[in-house]
Structure 1
Amino acid sequence: MPRIEAIEIRLHLPLRSPYTFPKRRDMESIQGARSFAIEMHGGQLYGDRPYSFHLDQVAEIASSYGHQAETLAFLHDTVEDTSATLDEVRERFGSFIADCVALLTDQPGENRKERKAKTYAKLAEVNDERQLALIVKAADRLANVRACVADGNERLLSVYRGEHEVFKLAAFRAGLCDELWGELGSLLSLVGPAVPTSGKS
């Protein structure tokens, strides 16, 4: 029986690279990020679910890429959507994670299209170790699209479909997290046409 369980676990792990379980210090960082994010997001909802649902989904996807990716996944919306600051993130989780959170944080804009254009411009310039942010950005978008498909949210799914080409030009790097992009493209190709994203949202 133990041998069978080990085989089953291996079959469910990503083919990209062998999984290594986080060390105690790394696990503490992950747990600390989750606790901090949940505290900061407070009573915010993700649709009709607690916001922790979304954070857990993104972190689960990102966990295949290491403990820093999982830590960043929990923190990716804290500065954009809560009162948390980059200085707080830097003090708690270090400069590298804070720099990645900054990349993932939308700047103010008149509408979604303008905000996302600013974020995509930042992502397009990344060519160093901060590419970790690109993995988490892909994980975030994949989690959102999965939720849209599961909930039948065609309106938001159409928005993501309309943004996909520009988003991919900015955030895709060959060999970085191809599995995520493959699933994302497959899900976005399932149903109808895209809608414009110039309105407020």
Structure 2
Amino acid sequence: MRCGFERARIFLLCKKKKTTFWRWHVISREHQINDEIRAREVRLVGADGEQIGIKSIRDALQLAIELNLDLVNVAPTAKPPVCRIMDYGKFRYEQQKKEKEARKNQKVVDLKEVWFRANIDENDYQTKYRNVIKFLNEGDKVKASVRFRGREIAHASLGQKILDRLSKEVAELCSVERAPKLEGRSMIMILAPKTTS
């Protein structure tokens, strides 16, 4: 645990670098606001999106103060920098809300692995086949592997037959992203679900 002196030193360092200190993590702010803007002149955009024109930083700040809003540098690399008059807190809230919504709608594709043996019994094969079907229907990729133990590696063609059979039986649900390939003592094939349009 950090002592009080070390916390204060870190806080002062963060203050110098124009970052916000929150729950003992450093979060950098992506926009310069109000007094942090160091340009002499800025291209000013009003609160409603209208172009006001090129103004000195003092005039732009004064206009933002009169409207009880913030002056935010939205394009610092432009010549002159583009600043907009807006409520920065509301802007950040809307941005975080959009990011959260995008993350919620995003589908994370997992890679599920199913192991086969070179001399697998038919019942075991059917059980693993049903698992592959289930994973593909859930939208996950499947890594189908055949493990070879001892001298089984001399009969790699048996593993190739198992993986070929599997790929033919699930052809309507997926496409073969990576063909069966021998890696060490395993033969690996990756199946990706077909995208529904």
What TM-score range do you get, normalising by the shorter chain? under 0.3
Normalized per residue, which structure has more strand?
2
Larger Rg computed on CA atoms? 2
Normalised to the residue count of structure 2, the TM-score between the two structures is 0.25
Normalized per residue, which structure has more helix?
1
The structure, 1 or 2, with the larger RCO (C-alpha pairs under 8 Å, 6+ apart) is 1
Normalised to the residue count of structure 1, the TM-score between the two structures is 0.24
